[in-house]
Structure 1
Amino acid sequence: MTEWRLLVAAGRAQLVDITQEVQDLPGVGRFRSQLLRDAVTGEEFDLVGTPARLLEPTLFDLVADLERGPQAILPRDLAWIAWILGLEPGDTVIEGGAGSGALTLTLARIVVPDGRVISYEPRLSHRRILECNLQRSPHTAQVKVVPQELTPDSEPTPCQALVLDVPQPWELVGWASTALESGGRLVAYLPTTGQVTQLLAQLEGWGELRVVENIQRDWTTRSQALRPQSRMQGHSGFIVSARHYT
């Protein structure tokens, strides 16, 4: 059983599992975790000569520190997907292609305490990373990982939302029509316009069709030289959303 905290020390913030016997952290060094377990969350304390503070990690902290494998959905797209799905606590959402679990963690945080995230992930290498990352979340009880590919022959599970991060989501539109309750939403995350075109052709008759591409441009934080940064986060994927009415 893990217990994660955000340690702020030596000019950096990093996730630590305080159940481990010993920590060995950049900028701080090697020390026993009992020092962290004895600390009061939110209050400054001395950590082997370094002023430090323990905080409860937020969703932002958890996603930013994920173990990487398959490309994770970026925060700007996570926020849009979570918003457009319109999820509520207690909802069931099905995820086709979980990858590293950034979206899985986000969805699980929304549907607590009684909701479910059912994540289909057929690749063993991806599942190992996903399950490792899920251990950092306090909402793992909300997540069921299915070690299979989501296909048109999969048993439909009634749900309020469906997210597809798979190469050919148009093959699952019929399945989605069966699984989604009336008013439920489908979202697909796709890298190319060709995939978007094929999916839109299959979504004819659905409501509230929308295609969004989020572009992010950060700015410098120097007050005397405020300007856009030289590099920006460009294309990562198209977010296609639609609403199902029976």
Structure 2
Amino acid sequence: MTGRTDVAKENDLVLLIGRDRKRFILRLTSGAQLQTHRGVIYHDDIIGRPLGREITSHLDYPFLVLEPSTHDLILDLERTTQIMYPKDIGYVLLKMNIKPGSRVVEAGTGSGGLTLALARAVMPTGRVYSYEVRPDVLRLAAKNLDKLGLLPFVELKERDIGEGFDEVDADALFLDLRTPWLYLAQARAALKSGGFFGALLPTANQVVQLIGALPDHGFDAIEVEELLLRPYKAVPARLRPADRMVAHTGYLIFARKVERVPAPEADEGQGTPSEGIETRKGE
């Protein structure tokens, strides 16, 4: 039984969902208990038993026991700053080819929402290098990542990226900053040739600034995208959109670092292609 991956073990993270859809994420500890509005749940009632089943609190209220997803973990983060929404994070992982073994640079750690997802994507052989200038915010991100066992895959650095990144030949780099166009030279120096660049910005004016600056710093294949998420009420008798949707949370900007061959200089005296060509206008 201990070899089964669907069996809850001590120190595992589990997700509890009540019939009222209230959610709790906890790390299992022998002898511990969780106090909820629907009664006490004893960790020992979960440890050693299969996931995907119901347990009951001491008030006989049922909870479903599941393995939490990355989406669940992001929404459960302790935070003092706005985090990227899971709908944007998931798309970033796909667009920037983040996979096990990738080396990814991030600036603007915040509370660690994107960092969490990057770490889970690159593990066990990859690495995330995350930069943040605010020490209190960085401490919270470290706490969040440590709680989830992800710190071994992340290097947190308290630094202004205007000084540059330590990394070179990174596979991907993401900027979650107010003025990313000011740091494109640093981003280019950190990326491998053909590497993936990404950024998140809240306003169109900022996007214009960034996409105008990207070509001047050796980036091409520029894309600007926005994701809108509409959940539905999953009731067979009255399936319809939920009253609220996750609409504009920011613009996603993607590009690739490229190496361009300088245009050949014209031979002296040859002039430009249009020189010496007479037109018939006015004849």
1:228 and 2:237 equivalent?
no
CA-CA distance at 1:207 after TM superposition: 2.0
Q: 2:168, 2:192 within 8 Å by CA — same for their partners in 1?
A: no
Q: How many residues align?
A: 246
The residue that corresponds to 1:169 in the other structure is: 180
Q: Which residue of 1 aligns with 2:142?
A: 131
Higher alpha-carbon Rg: 2
Please give the root-mean-square deviation of Cα atoms over the aligned residues, in Å.
2.4
**Cα separation, partners in 2 of 1:123 and 1:209, compared to 1, 3 Å:** same
Equivalent residues of 1:2, 1:18 under 8 A apart = yes
Contiguous gaps of at least 5 residues in structure 1: none
Q: Which residue of structure 2 aligns with residue 4 of structure 1?
A: 13
Gaps spanning 5+ residues in structure 2: where? 1-9, 260-283
Secondary structure at the aligned position of 1:145 is classed as: strand
TM-score, normalised to structure 1's length? 0.88
Deviation at 1:47, TM superposition (A): 4.0
Whether 2:261 is the aligned partner of 1:242: answer no
Equivalent residue, structure 2, for 1:217: 230
- Alignment pair present for 1:61 and 2:72: yes
Per-residue deviation, 1:62: 0.8
In the TM superposition, residue 122 of structure 1 has moved relative to its aligned partner by: 1.7
TM norm structure 2: 0.77
Shift of 1:27: 3.2
Are the equivalent residues in 2 in contact too, given 1:35–1:47 (CA < 8 A)? no
The residue number in structure 2 matching 1:188 is: 199
CA gap 1:76/1:197 in 2 versus in 1, 3 angstroms? same
Matches within 5 A, 1:199-218: 199-204=210-215, 205-218=218-231
Contact kept, 8 Å, 1:21 with 1:34, in 2: the verdict is yes
- Take 2:11 and 2:158, find their aligned partners in 1: how far apart are those partners? 23
Structure showing greater relative contact order (alpha-carbon pairs closer than 8 Å, 6 or more residues apart): 1
Distance in 1 (alpha carbons) for counterparts of 2:30 and 2:156: 26
Q: 1:40 to 1:233 in 2, by over 3 A?
A: closer
Aligned with 2:106 (options 91, 95, 100)? 95
Say if 1:3 and 1:136, in contact at 8 Å, map to a contact too. no
Aligned-pair CA distance for 1:106: 1.0
Question: Could you say which residue in structure 2 is the equivalent of 1:19?
Answer: 29
**AA in 2 matched with 1:16:** L
Provide the identity percentage: 33
Residues 190-237 of structure 1, C-alpha deviation per residue, up to 9 Å, x if partnerless? 111121111112211422100111122223333333333343322111
Question: How far apart are the structure 2 equivalents of 1:227 and 1:46?
Answer: 31
